[in-house]
Structure 1
Amino acid sequence: MSSFLAFLGISVLVIVAPGPDTAITIRNTLMGGRTGGILTAAGIAAGQTIWALATSAGIVALLLASEPIFLAVKYAGAVYLVYLGALALRTAIRPASAAAPSAGPSRRATRLGPASAFRQGIVSDLGNPKMTVFFASLLPQFVPAGAATFTGLLSLGLIFAAMTFVWLAFYAVAIARIGDLLRRPGVRRAVEGVTGAVLIGLGIRIAAERH
């Protein structure tokens, strides 16, 4: 029980720490409303579920052992974050390019489709090399003694993914509640600009980090 509680404590610290998942959830909530934010959170949780399965099956260990493959995943994830950040910056600088001039605030706020929101969440998480290291290094330490390794790792991974979804969904709902304020032209452009800069910065940092 103490080992499980320690796992929950560490998981909370990892989940609530701001990072790419938080930034993308905020951006997509502004772009697609509460539904867009929640589906982004669902995509991120789905990505973590895939990491959990890969860890349980030993695939992540092989990924870490193969530097070329690991670097390919890392750089692909970094490029994707930079791409999303560039889109956000473009919206901040040239808001008219993201929507027709006649479209009102509500039309612009919902231009992100549900499928796109989910896809951005899952791709962002799968391209985050920190998830690779996290699942490979942390989960095995908390598998109960005597438990089957595959089942134990998968169970912990699913719990982590569920906790992540709950936290990010809460984020999305909270942001959606103040969406009218955040979607005011001046405020929206500022938020898009900051979010874009953060995503680009995170992408560059991920690309520059050594594992």
Structure 2
Amino acid sequence: MRQTLYGGRRIAVLSILGIASGLIAWVVSAALGLTAVIASSEASHQVIRVLGAAVLVILGARTLLAARRARQAEERAEGTESTAGAEGAQGPDGADGAAGAPRPAAPKAAYQAGLLTCLTNPKVVIFAAALLPQFVSAGKWSGWVGVVYALVWAATSSVWYVFLMAVLRRMRWIYERPAVRRRLEQFSGLVLLGFGLRLAMTTSS
């Protein structure tokens, strides 16, 4: 959602591709038996959980810092506009540039963010290890079965995110307002931090 709001369609699609790549990687791991090892190993599961929590906390902190910088830019722009006088005809354009949306992620960074958040999601590990093998005949993976599962899982996930992206793009007239953008940035940062802290405090059962 954040990548769509502040990066546009291309950045959002790259994030979706990163998530899809992560899902495919976990299916391959399930075929090789790696996910079962991770799921059954308390130490491995804890490592994945801690890494996932760290990723979310870092993303949340960066998002909140971006919101703070945006607010400071707005305040500087307002100060400049108020002192510009008659020569401030170009002020609104400058203010828009300074107080605009936070700088979107670079294409490579957007893909990596999607990939990393998927690879460090312990729920995805459990899903791949516990659910997918049940649909394999006699518990044996084959190459084509792994390919089908990987593509179906990645496709269904991507379809949902593409739908969400399309809905958000139609609502961009709302979040193009600097104040709304800043509030959304603050909210998304707090949500990411909350998920990260909750994951960090979750114990395996």
TM bucket (normalised to shorter chain) is 0.7 to 0.9
Query: CA–CA distance in 2 between the matches of 1:75 and 1:98?
Result: 34
Matched, 1:47 2:25: no
Query: CA–CA distance in 2 between the matches of 1:98 and 1:68?
Result: 45
Equivalent residue runs for 1:128-207 within 5 Å? 128-143=121-136, 145=137, 148-151=140-143, 152-207=145-200
Across the aligned residues of Structure 1 and Structure 2, the Cα RMSD in angstroms comes to 2.5
- TM-score (normalised: structure 1): 0.77
**Unpaired segments ≥5 residues, structure 1:** 1-25
Query: CA–CA distance in 1 between the matches of 2:153 and 2:129?
Result: 13
From the CA coordinates, give the structure whose radius of gyration is larger. 2
Counting matched residue pairs gives 185
Query: CA–CA distance in 1 between the matches of 2:172 and 2:8?
Result: 8
Which of 19, 33, 50 does residue 75 from structure 1 map onto?
50
| Cα drift, residue 96 of structure 1 | 5.3
| Cα drift, residue 109 of structure 1 | 5.8
Deviant stretches of 4+, over 6 Å? 97-101
| Cα drift, residue 94 of structure 1 | 3.0
Query: CA–CA distance in 1 between the matches of 2:99 and 2:166?
Result: 17
- TM-score (normalised: structure 2): 0.80
Task: Tell me which residue corresponds to 1:125.
Answer: 118
Identity within the alignment, %: 34
Amino acid in the other structure paired with 1:33: G
**Unpaired segments ≥5 residues, structure 2:** 78-93
Residue 120 and residue 86 in structure 1: after superposition, are their counterparts in 2 closer, same or farther (change >3 A)?
same
Residue 148 and residue 64 in structure 1: after superposition, are their counterparts in 2 closer, same or farther (change >3 A)?
closer
